[in-house]
Amino acid sequence: MEITCIACPLGCAIKVTLEGGKVVDIQGATCKRGEEYAKLECLSPKRMVTSTVTLIGSPLRRLPIKTEHPIPKSKVMDVARALLGVEINAPVSIGDIVAENICDTGVNMVATRHALAISTKNEAIN
Amino acid sequence: MKKVDIVIIGGGPAGLAAALGAKDAGIENIIILEREQYLGGILNQCIHNGFGLHVFKEELTGPEYAARYEERVKQAKIPYLLNTMVLDITRDKKVMAVNRDGLLEIKAEAVILAMGCRERPRGAINIPGRRPVGIYAAGTAQKFVNIDGFVPGKEVVVLGSGDIGLIMARRMTFEGAAVKAVVELMPYSGGLKRNIVQCLDDFGIPLKLSHTVTQIKGGERLTGVTIARVDENLKPIPGTEEDISCDTLLLSVGLIPDNELSRNAGIALSNITGGPVVDESLQTSVEGIFACGNTLHVHDLVDFVSAESEQAGKNAAEYVRGKRPRPDGGITLSTKGGVRYAVPASIDPGNVSDKIDIRFRVSNVFKNRYVAVYFDDTRLKRHRRLILTPGEMETLTLTKAEFEKYPDARSITIALEE
Ligand SMILES: Cc1cc2nc3c(=O)[nH]c(=O)nc-3n(C[C@H](O)[C@H](O)[C@H](O)COP(=O)(O)OP(=O)(O)OC[C@H]3O[C@@H](n4cnc5c(N)ncnc54)[C@H](O)[C@@H]3O)c2cc1C
Ligand code: SF4
């Protein structure tokens, strides 16, 4: 498997050879960090997903959200699709769960911004 | 007229960190002026993660990073005004702003510029053809999608492979759009490897290096573009044209510091960075006016914006308290051999307490080079680097002890060497 290392700007092209689900050879990594990355990326690639959902009853229109932990790469587009059309009521605080166990990944989607409800004073303190 | 010790223009990460730095250094009478209805600046639209690894030792999204600084500013009870647009600053540090209550005039002892940056206007790139609806700067599209909740199209081509363009390719994919290609004029991408892998490769979006858009098609609405390969002189090669249908073209062609206000105040600007020329205190050519963050020079990591701006806040505080005399002259800092620019432009060693960070960028991709520092004609030190790229800002630290070794130095030069 060909992997581009993302651990530093050098971007080494690393070749990982798998046999029966086990790594037997790694070529092309300039450093240890790259070997570790390539191994992980081959055996169980994971990604954070960040997106937004519609906010109701807030001066803000969109609520930014993220997966609480990285999820398998193969599920990323399922999660993105599942979030289209989701609506959330204000107020919301950072860390609030927006969707539980998204797409059966065992990972929750959480809010990444505070959103006050519309009636709350949103002006400057002085 | 209201009198304030330090006025900070812009409530993005730079403005917030500058305010905290000034407060820490003992100045109470501060005000932050922000034209949006929220603090945090551009970070609020950067919803992806990857922020804060240096400052917080964990990976945060843009809004989370902004919220932490906002929280600190509120805890420190630093006053701020939202929905307040600064219209003018003068050399004697009068600041004029406008908000719902009308015109506001403030006389400040010191001003900190933290207005951020703007995207290069689309007129700045030459593409023949009409200008139908559907062509947006990538950062503007990011604001549409992430703040306003408006997805600008269904079939997308991105011109320019800077990080914002790459991030938007993935973002539009998540919103259900088909991203047909990212087209890059140079033979390398200006974006991080991580973003090329996780924003393009993961979704099978082709990155067309050494290509450009040569034609824009459509009447009212964009219907497609023609792209072509370019030669070593970056000129399109006839016969390599390829048509791509799309209703949206995102331009990710670079950022420039926002300095309308600085220009009007007569502050000297660098024609390389587009930001003010500053000394070791991050003070501009106008005494008592400081600059930090993307207004000073475009940063790629917000962590460095915070560090630099906190220092600007501290320096402004010392200036207000009469503890930071304006240097006359100082050592000039210049660059050569592939180093495009360095900030600051001059250093008075008398104002360096224990060390000073110098930020610089290179002009091309360089592998296996030394970054060398010269005091006049003598090489002080050099460090070997495996790779240097234009997309990543570099930092170099000079210590007080190093300055003391060369008390008569007139110039410092930063250069790349084989
Ligand atoms: C579109 C875009 C995307 C980016 N994405 C990333 C990313 O993914 N990762 C990353 O690390 N960095 C990213 N950056 C870089 C990021 O901008 C910096 O890390 C950081 O946000 C800069 O902080 P700042 O405070 O200097 O500027 P800003 O965050 O832009 O803040 C400037 C503030 O000043 C206010 N202001 C300007 N003029 C006035 C005026 N006249 N009166 C009152 N207020 C004013 C603005 O409203 C704004 O709130 C991105 C930058 C842009 C432009
Ligand atoms: S293998 Fe090491 S040197 Fe190569 S890109 Fe990865 S981290 Fe950088």
Whole-complex ipTM? 0.90
Secondary structure of residue B250 in the 3-state scheme: strand
Cβ proximity of B214 and B128 under 8 Å: yes
User: Residue B330's pLDDT is what?
Assistant: 86
A residues 16-45 closer than 8 Å to B (CB): 30
Per-residue pLDDT of chain B (418 residues; tens, 9 = 90+): 899 999 999 999 999 999 999 999 999 999 999 999 999 999 999 999 989 988 898 899 999 999 999 999 999 999 999 999 999 999 999 999 999 999 999 999 999 999 999 987 665 456 766 678 999 999 999 999 999 999 999 999 999 999 999 999 999 999 999 999 999 999 988 888 899 999 999 999 999 999 999 999 998 899 999 999 999 999 999 999 999 999 999 999 888 899 999 999 999 999 999 999 999 999 999 999 999 999 999 998 899 999 999 999 999 999 999 877 777 778 999 999 899 999 999 999 988 989 999 999 999 889 999 999 999 999 999 999 988 988 889 999 999 999 999 988 999 999 999 9
* CA nearest to B94, candidates B2, B195, B179, B18: B2
Q: Is B262 exposed, middle or buried (0-12, 13-18, 19+ CB in 10 A)?
A: buried
Looking at residue B190, its pLDDT comes to: 83
Q: Does A4 touch chain B (CB under 8 A)?
A: yes
- DSSP label of B197: I
Order of all β-strands in the sheet with A97-99:
A87-89, A50-56, A62-67, A109-111, A97-99
Q: The CATH number of the domain where A104 resides is what?
A: 3.10.530.10
CB count in 10 Å sphere of residue B401: 9
Closest CA to B135 of B243, B248, B244: B248
CA B227 from chain center: how many Å? 29
Burial class (CB in 10 A: 0-12, 13-18, 19+), B47: buried
Residues A22 and A56 in one domain: no
Q: Determine whether the shortest distance from the Cβ of B165 to ligand 1 is under 6 A.
A: no
For residue A112, list chain B residues with Cβ-Cβ distance below 8 A: 47, 61, 63-64
The reply to whether residue B49 touches residue A47, judged by beta carbons under 8 angstroms, is no
Does A86 share its domain with A110? yes
Residue nearest to atom 13 of ligand 1 (CA): B300
Q: What per-residue confidence (pLDDT) applies to A125?
A: 40
Residue A122 scores a pLDDT above 60: no
Measured torsion, CA atoms of residues B267, B270, B271, B272, in degrees rounded to the nearest 10: -150
The C-alpha atoms of residue A55 and residue B147 are separated, in whole angstroms, by 11
What is the three-class DSSP state of A88? Answer: strand
Number of separate domains in chain A: 2
B146 reaches A (C-beta below 8 A): yes
Model confidence at A124: pLDDT above 60: no
**pLDDT for A70:** 95
B203: chain A residues, CB-CB within 8 Å? 77
Please check whether residues A19 and A38 belong to one and the same domain.
yes
Taking the C-alpha atoms of residue B341 and residue B418, their distance in angstroms, rounded to an integer, is 19
Does A16 share its domain with A63? no
- Kindly state whether residues A27 and A88 are assigned to the same domain: no
Identify the helix (H) or strand (E) that includes residue B263. helix B260-264
pLDDT of A65 higher than 80: yes
Residue B88: C-alpha distances to residues B22, B110, B111, B113 (Å): 22, 15, 12, 12
Q: What is the reported pLDDT for B125? A: 58
Q: Say if residue A58 is in the same domain as residue A40.
A: no
pLDDT at A44 over 70: yes
pLDDT, residue B123, reads: 55
A56 and A93, same domain (yes or no): yes
Beta strand pairing status for A46-47 and A71-72?
antiparallel
**Which numbered ligand comes closest to the C-alpha of B254?**
1
Instruction: Give the whole-angstrom CA distance, residue B263 versus residue B272.
Output: 15
Using only C-alpha atoms, what is the Rg of chain A?
Answer: 20
Residues of B in contact with A123 (CB under 8 A): 82-83
CA-CA-CA-CA torsion for B302, B192, B61, B43, nearest 10 degrees?
Answer: 50
A65, A95: one domain: yes
Asked if A9 and B392 come within 8 Å (Cβ–Cβ), the reply is: yes
Structural element, H or E, at residue A19: strand A13-19
Which residue of chain A comes nearest to B174, CA vs CA?
A: A80
> By residue range, what is the domain housing residue A34?
2-44
Residue of B nearest to A74 (CA): B202
Asked whether residue A72 falls in the same domain as residue A120, the answer is yes
Token output for B111: 């001003």
Q: Which among B68, B294, B295 is the best mutation to test ligand 1's pocket, defined by most ligand atoms within 8 Å of the CB?
A: B294
DSSP strands (E only) in B18-84: 30-33, 49-51, 60-61, 80-81
Tell me: do A95 and A114 sit in the same domain. Answer: yes
CB-CB neighbors (< 8 A) of A114 in chain B? 67
Shared domain check, A54 and A91: yes
CA distance B216 to chain A (A): 30
What is the CA(B40)–ligand 1 centre distance, in A?
Answer: 8
How far apart CA B371 and CA B6 sit, in angstroms, is 37
Integer CA distances (angstroms), B261 to B9, B86, B242, B274, B349, in order: 10, 8, 43, 13, 30
Residues A37 and A95 placed together within one structural domain of the fold: no
